[in-house]
Structure 1
């Protein structure tokens, strides 16, 4: 399910948007101030962000610029300002669209759907990109050649960066139909994935071992 992050300090507006998005099949999360936005985006990795321009703590324009330093996630700026120059500044900061208050929630939902359709499977965080339809992994523009079993494991870790998975959790989640997969096989797949990144001249350690616990993906 695609997740919409709503960054809006007016709770009535945020609740109104959440109801419309959820009725259209999206999941939603909400932040009401600007200082925690960047960390939340890195942690939640939403499909799209509805970002209010005027926020306590840090304004939406600054948040947008910081997000663009590590992600191309679609951003729709939401604001009470109507001057053309303000719209241009928002778009130059990296916003994909600009909606002025008061607005029509159904129209905003339609805009969100159009943007998500256009950017489907193209949203990336940090230097890693995963094309879920084609089951491809890229580091910047370099393709990482993974087997289907390696991709299944990698895509599981990629969904929740920094989350530690035990070997048994990986077996249950990535290979539910392959009960002959063993702990040693998981270790072997991890070793091969690391090797394939290294073959692509990626020096960063993408997957880390956590002693006594399992493995986690670390975004470069």
Structure 2
């Protein structure tokens, strides 16, 4: 195990699941130098055990691992928790990246990488999960559109039924941010670049990454009986259209 320096208050814990000891040691050293705690798992099965035991604040997860590969471990994590996950891959091909993102990863980095860049990505994702209170904190308003309620303080998206009961949507961090951004201004069309800037800050995500996140968000809304609330506007981007879009703008990626 990689040791962590003592601190007055617990700092975020990062679980590094990486089978190359040299890379794991470098990542842990840079994370600790930035004031974060780090634990190391050398394979997927150990990663799953430590994830369940430690409940880390974020997972840095290599895709190619012995025992259980990173995508299988990501699938297992997502079946129980919405803990932020940054995928690490040695393959520059977009296929691995997009597959991880479709399964719920929050970001990715490609080897060889700059350790300070990885730390910056970790900090960016943690800021989205654990936003710092402002000097004069003000409660973020809830958004209610039709049956959808987005509680920004509780970071929960709910679907209200006819019986008055509410069911929580199992959204990842990025999916929640996209839904909140779109639903805050119904019928406004947002470009892909705007959504990347506001929902994946400090990420070098491509347009197709936003398409992947929104496709998964649409599917979860449909599974909750909410139809096609998110409409694709060809050549421009996306908009949230309560009650279903007019259909004039078309559909598809």
- TM-score normalized by the length of structure 1: 0.54
Residue-by-residue CA offset, 1:123-144 (whole Å, 9 max, x unaligned):
xxxxxxxxxx99xxxxx85xxx
Q: Say whether 1:14 aligns with 2:58.
A: no
Aligned match for 1:37, one of 47, 53, 56? 47
Aligned length: 125
1:81-101 superposed Cα distances (whole Å, 9 cap, x missing partner) = 111111111111211111100
Alpha-carbon distance in structure 1 between the residues aligned to 2:120 and 2:31 = 10
**Is residue 85 of structure 2 the alignment partner of residue 75 of structure 1?**
yes
Match of 1:53 among 63, 70, 77: 63
> What whole-Å deviation, never above 9, does each CA across 1:61-82 have from its counterpart, x for those lacking one?
0000010001100000001011
Does 1:110 pair with 2:120? Answer: yes
1:36, distance to aligned residue in structure 2 (A): 2.4
Which residue of structure 1 lines up, in the alignment, with residue 14 of structure 2? 4
Distance in 1 separating the partners of 2:87 and 2:104? 10
Alignment partner for residue 96 of structure 2, among 76, 86, 100? Answer: 86
Deviation at 1:35, TM superposition (A): 1.4
Alpha-carbon distance between aligned partners in 2 of 1:101 and 1:12, rounded to the nearest angstrom: 13
**2:81 & 2:56 partners in 1: Cα distance?**
11
Distance 2:47 2:111 in 1: 21
CA apart distance, 1:6: 0.3
Moved over 4 A (4+): none
Point out which structure has higher relative CO (alpha carbons under 8 A, 6+ apart). 1
Cα RMSD for the two superposed structures:
1.7
Alignment gaps of 5+ in structure 2: 1-10, 132-152, 155-166, 169-253
1:82-161 aligned within 5 A: 82-120=92-130
